[in-house]
Structure 1
């Protein structure tokens, strides 16, 4: 069937309705690119799968949340030396975790639903990769301390160095406050350096480097001389931490690249399963009846309602008048 015929039949509009039932970006794309089938046996098998899934969903919810379209990221990971950011790696982990949950949910299905169980069984997320991503990535989208012993060591040193600086500056604030040299009693950051706010008049009482000033110019943000080297050491530790984080991310990206084929197969299986569930949901919402397939070219519809009119009517059967339609045989 050519594109013009599909457009006249408003097939793209039907696919748009189907895409809205999909729970994932992969399923929506699969729905929007569907074409009518021509193989009777494949059509019958597809109808069986939809009918099965429709029945199964009456008492079962398949956990389709957490799926992301990570195809571009996985393709990028194939490149030597690639380094994906932790958020993107987290999306890959979330997608693999969703596939793991769906596979388990499919295996736990009870009833005569072999096609739905088979669709879930085609989900084979790499378990070792998922476990490593979980271990190395924190829920907040950062790299976890547990990602490497070196990272844990560096972060411990960063925390200790920061506390040493803060302790020194708080002690200095207490002493300077008695002479009216400080504008306020707090420690802040300017240019990635810990500083204290001092008054212009109090500047002469404390030796150090002015890193910034307030909009009025009355408050100077001073890095006292006594913490300059401590701030320098903190910066070096943070740079070492950043290098270790990048090393971890590069290693994880390499693992993704090595298993790219398996991840892409899992995403294809996710798209197929989501599409199957979307078709079942749409069939249920439209109260669709499974057609009997015939080979003689006849089409017979009894009390049929136009699905797009149903959509316009908000799914209300009463608002759409059913019709009988027969094409072929005696009618052309």
Structure 2
């Protein structure tokens, strides 16, 4: 007989406003222009979404020389460097920019700081497309750090103009530790008016914290290359609850749930609700589980589409 379990569903979870906007940009471009539509980098970090778009004629590329002259090109939600923008202009692509407005805010801040003579420290993960795009807004004067020990390696003068910015999808707690170390070493460092952790990242982490006392295990719906999804998994694990990151129902393993009564389910900001539903169904196919939605923040933020796609939408 299947053992009954309770599935607690985090709130909020899944798509944020920036991701919804990026996906809608691709959808509307497909409607208006038809396939193929080219997207520089994965539009969002979710294998489920990327596979669906590929089946409908969207081509994901990393190098612009793979795109025919004059084609429709979309920049992903993570943003791109100025060099990529210049190259797109030179190749005469029709470009729609799906950069998350919160990432674009950090881009603008980096440019402003450089113009005012600051050396800029970026807190983020090396190789992540958002970090590459943000650092690529300026030709120099920006320096990446990933961990607290990296602060010790910085050699700026005490009286140098310094400022920091952050990748939007980092762990709130991790970022606070790094910024505290920066401020201790450089008390005069310029901080953003508001920490650049996006609202959705913070809300989803807070929802996991609220769910933890009620569950024995956490399933995070999201892909391995999704920074904010991995932070949710790491957060649950740091709170002494086993956590697993999945982006396909076939990845669910029965041994995870032995001696487990209460299961927590959340989803990263790039994971669609339809995939979360499939994951829950996969769990319920093994157990007679009841689903209990957790109380939490209802997000109402939305971002507008680029002007060239508004009419189609």
Comparing both structures, which one devotes a greater share of its residues to helix?
Answer: 1
TM-score (norm 1): 0.22
| More RCO (CA 8 Å, sep 6+) | 2
TM-score (norm 2): 0.23
Comparing both structures, which one devotes a greater share of its residues to strand?
Answer: 2
Q: Which structure has the larger Rg?
A: 1
